[in-house]
Amino acid sequence: MHPLYDHARDCDIAFGWEPSLEVDFYLDLLSRYGSCPVRRILDVACGTGRLLLPMAVRGLSCVGVDAHAPLVEFALGRARASKLSLELRAADPRAFQVARPCDGAFSTLSAFRRLLTSDDVYEHFLAVSAALVPGAAYVVDVELLGGDFDPSRPPQTWSASRDGVTVETTRGATAAPDWGTRLLPEETRMRVTEAGRTEERVARDELRAWTIDDFRGHAWAGGFAAVAWFALPARVADPFRPAPWTQAETTARVLAVLRMR
């Protein structure tokens, strides 16, 4: 478990940029590449409900799972305050179930990279496919590493404020990936300033290092075919402007559109 995610309010501030462009794009992809109209949707690693809540406002039936119970509780509180009904639960992304199949699924902010082993990924794909109607699409936000990957690149930094609280976030790799284990060490720092006091929190963990061939092969083994790719801004807090992606040899943060085979 990621210790920073115990502080759900601060995470909600840090990742709380305006969601409407993302909501529009995810719903368009799921409708365009899936097998049926999207009325019921699954967010894998839903966090504080950043995208699910505005989807629920639009009348969609929304289901979310996340491994971190504090984030799920925060999202449920937001839903109750807005008089919205969402199906949210704290659950392992490798082993979860939903009450009724969904018409499409998505996973944002590179949460997919926290599945560290091939077995983790395979089990995850099985769980997602069991939660979807046949032929549904699954859109995954993931960074793919190419030959140009530079572990010494500057970390991402951004700041966000709400209700007198400011959260400054820094995130980046701390070393080159170990291609034997396919793990990439990463450090995340959050400086939270409230009522004149500042607290700094630091988490060091590992993410899965993916190449496009590795990702495509694992998706296929898990019952999904990659049918489209869209490039995203490398920095998560930059404006959301996806564009078709074809430069498979370069490092990029992408949306991979997968469809059940």
Express each pLDDT in 125-162 by its tens digit.
999 999 999 999 999 999 999 888 888 889 999 999 99
Structural element, H or E, at residue 223: none
Interatomic CA distance for residues 74 and 222, integer angstroms: 31
With bands split at pLDDT 50, 70 and 90, how would you rate the model's confidence at 1? low
Interatomic CA distance for residues 28 and 73, integer angstroms: 28
Given a contact cutoff of 8 angstroms between Cβ atoms, the answer to whether 134 and 224 are in contact is: no
Distances (CA, A) of 15 to 9, 10, 166: 10, 9, 12
Once rounded to an integer, what is the mean pLDDT over residues 98-103?
Answer: 97
Interatomic CA distance for residues 148 and 182, integer angstroms: 16
Which of the listed CATH numbers 3.40.190.10, 3.40.1030.10, 3.30.540.10, 2.20.25.110 matches domain 156-207?
2.20.25.110
Please state which CATH class domain 3-146+209-260 belongs to.
Answer: alpha beta
Given a contact cutoff of 8 angstroms between Cβ atoms, the answer to whether 96 and 65 are in contact is: yes
Q: Is the pTM of this model over 0.85?
A: yes
Q: What is the pLDDT, as a whole number, of residue 30?
A: 98
Domain boundaries, the chain: 3-146+209-260, 156-207
